[in-house]
C-alpha cells in the first residue's frame, strides 16, 4: 500500500462540494498552503471536534493564506447538515469513493461501515505534501493549532 511522503505530489482527486460544483485537488488549491482533511463521517465525534477546531481557527488560517478542504463518504444531505451544524466556513466534499481515494493517498479504510479513516495532509502552494498524518482508527489526527504553528515556522524560516 502507498503512503504519501513529504515532498510527494498530492494525487488528483475530484469531489462534489456541499456548496455546489466540484473541487479538483490539488489544482484548485494551487498557490496557497492548504490542508486536506479526510474524515470518517458526521457520525464521528472526534471528526466533529476536528472540523469544529478548523472552523474556530478559520480567521487565523485565512490570515496565513491557508485553504482548508474536508471530505468524506457521507451523502450530500448528511454533509450539508454537518456543515450547517458546525458552521464550517471551508469547502466540504461528499460522496467520496473510499477505496479510490485510499488507493491514491494511502488512507486507511474501515470495512464495515465502509468509510475512510481520518487522514490529514498539509500541502505547499505547488501541491506537494509537507506533512501527512494517517490514522488507522478514530483518534490521531491533524489539528488546526499544529497547522498554524507549522506554516508560521515555514514562512519565518524560508
Task: Name the band, by pLDDT with cuts 50, 70 and 90, for residue 157.
Answer: very high
Q: Where in the chain are the domains?
A: 13-157
pLDDT more than 70, % of the chain = 99
Query: How much of the chain is in helix, strand and coil states, percent to nearest 5?
Result: 35, 25, 40
Whether 153 has a pLDDT exceeding 90, the answer reads yes
Whole-angstrom distance, CA of residue 118 vs CA of residue 40: 6
> What's the pLDDT at 158?
82
Least confident of 23-27, 70-74, 136-140: 136-140
Whole-angstrom distance, CA of residue 158 vs CA of residue 50: 28
Fold that domain 13-157 belongs to in CATH: Glutaredoxin (3.40.30)
pLDDT more than 90, % of the chain = 97
Amino acid at each position: 500500500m502507498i503512503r504519501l511522503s513529504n515532498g510527494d505530489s498530492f494525487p488528483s482527486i475530484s469531489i462534489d462540494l456541499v456548496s455546489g460544483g466540484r473541487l479538483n485537488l490539488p489544482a484548485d488549491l494551487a498557490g496557497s498552503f492548504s490542508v486536506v482533511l479526510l474524515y470518517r463521517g458526521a457520525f464521528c465525534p472526534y471528526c466533529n471536534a476536528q472540523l469544529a477546531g478548523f472552523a474556530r481557527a478559520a480567521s487565523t488560517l485565512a490570515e496565513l493564506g491557508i485553504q482548508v478542504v474536508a471530505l468524506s463518504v457521507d451523502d450530500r444531505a448528511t454533509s450539508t447538515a454537518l456543515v450547517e451544524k458546525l458552521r464550517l466556513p471551508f469547502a466540504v466534499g461528499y460522496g467520496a469513493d473510499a477505496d479510490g481515494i485510499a488507493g491514491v493517498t494511502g488512507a486507511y479504510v474501515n470495512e464495515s461501515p465502509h468509510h475512510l479513516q481520518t487522514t490529514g495532509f498539509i500541502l505547499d502552494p505547488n501541491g506537494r505534501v509537507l506533512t501527512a498524518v494517517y490514522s488507522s482508527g478514530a483518534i490521531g489526527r491533524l489539528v488546526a493549532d499544529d497547522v498554524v504553528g507549522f506554516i508560521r515556522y515555514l514562512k519565518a524560516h524560508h
